[in-house]
Amino acid sequence: MSPIEPSNRLIVIVGPTAVGKTETAIQLAEQFDGEIVSGDSRLFYRGMDIGTAKPTLEERQRVPHHLIDVADPTEVWSLGVFKNAAKRAIAGIHARNRLPFLVGGTGQYITALIEDWSVPPQQPDTKLREVLEGWAQIIGNDAIYHKLAILDPQAAKNIDPRNLRRTIRALEVILKTGKRFSEQRLKGESPYRVLKIGLKRPRQALYQRIDQRIDQMLKAGLVDEVKNLLERGLDATSPVFSTIGYREIAAYLQGKITLDEAIGLIKKNTRQFVRRQANWFKEHDPQIHWFDMNEKTTREIADLIHGWLKEA
């Protein structure tokens, strides 16, 4: 294996939703002349600001950010599209002699990039996809997800049961190739020299922050944001409505549940999402340097980065 050039360094900051990745990453990028590449699959989409806790314009002015507001909610930014775009963004940061920070909570996307997964090249089969979508309407989303879990337990483990689009995509690839979806993502050799940093909080403290964040989203206009998306004609198959917060508020606006029920579901589903994120970012992973969030955390991480940058 040839040595990785220092210019290919990449700092990765991971952790559960609401742990404090955004502000920590901005402070570190300011200190180390860095730029931030989003590793959050919901920040790609324009018009999804409040419900995704997207960095504010003021925060983005402090440090250059990449892969935020790069697609319409009607588009689908697949894993392969993200991987190529992130590589281009990181190459540009290196070309400017700056330090890239890959930041986010979408474990699959981050892992695929830094491990250089070989993403299944299978082209979409529109007819098969329509058949699967029709089947889902007949038997229900839970039942079709159960079919995937039988055919490919590992793929199902990494897919949100409510994310019908990804469930159908996995089934489509399995049925077209005759191979498990999870087996077709082969790990390659990372093109980067990676320093992986994990942020954590005690579970109950994290849940409290999640509840406070959701309450603040509602005060900031989450209901109106979802209403605007619905008025644009977006439906349940768009990426918007596989996102926690948007699907529950949409159900409220459609008269299916009350607002209080929607809020309760958002909080419950976000906690479940945090537990799924832990499948990607494990506290016993020796490749991740974990830090408990407190007033000293940023300084402690900065000390780690200083030492890492001095290494040959």
Interval 30-44: pLDDT, tens: 999 999 999 999 999
Mean pLDDT along residues 152-166: 81
Consult the annotation and say whether 17 binds a ligand.
yes
240-277 confidence digits (pLDDT tens): 888 999 999 999 999 999 999 999 999 999 999 999 88
User: Which residues lie closer than 8 Å to 141 by C-beta, 6 or more apart?
Assistant: 161, 162, 164, 167
Torsion sign over Cα 59, 60, 66, 70: positive
pLDDT for the residue 120: 60
* 22 in a known ligand binding site: yes
pLDDT of residue 5: 47
Mean pLDDT of 159-180: 83
105 is in an annotated binding site: no
Tokens of 196: 């992986």
* 106 annotated as belonging to a binding site for a ligand: no
* pLDDT at residue 4, rounded to an integer: 40
Asked if residue 223 belongs to a known ligand binding site, the reply is no
pLDDT of residue 192: 95
Write the DSSP string, 240-258. GGGSTTHHHHHHHHTTSS-
Which pLDDT score is estimated for 2? 36
Given a contact cutoff of 8 angstroms between Cβ atoms, the answer to whether 301 and 15 are in contact is no
Query: Taking a C-beta distance cutoff of 8 angstroms, is the pair 280, 7 a contact?
Result: no
pLDDT tens, residue by residue, 185-215: 656 678 899 999 999 999 999 999 999 999 9
- pLDDT band for position 1 (cuts 50, 70, 90): very low
Residue type, 273: F
Does 15 appear as a known binding residue?
Answer: yes
> Please, which residues have CB within 8 angstroms of residue 218's CB and are 6 or more apart in sequence?
263
Residue 142 main-chain phi, psi, to 5 deg:
-65, -40
What is the pLDDT averaged over residues 49-62?
A: 96
Q: What's the rounded mean pLDDT across residues 14-22?
A: 96
Contact indicator for 48, 126 with CB cutoff of 8 Å: no
Q: How many CB atoms lie within 10 A of CB 165?
A: 18
Residues pairing with 103 in the sheet: 13, 38
Rounded distance between C-alpha atoms, residue 78 and residue 63, angstroms: 26
Check whether 107 has a pLDDT greater than 60: yes
Q: CB–CB of 7/94 below 8 Å?
A: yes
Residue 99 has pLDDT above 80, yes or no: yes
User: Which range (86-95, 112-121, 133-142) has the least confidence?
Assistant: 112-121
- For the chain, which domains are there? 6-118+187-210+278-310 (3.40.50.300), 126-184 (1.10.20.140)
Q: How far apart are CA 276 and CA 284, in angstroms?
A: 16
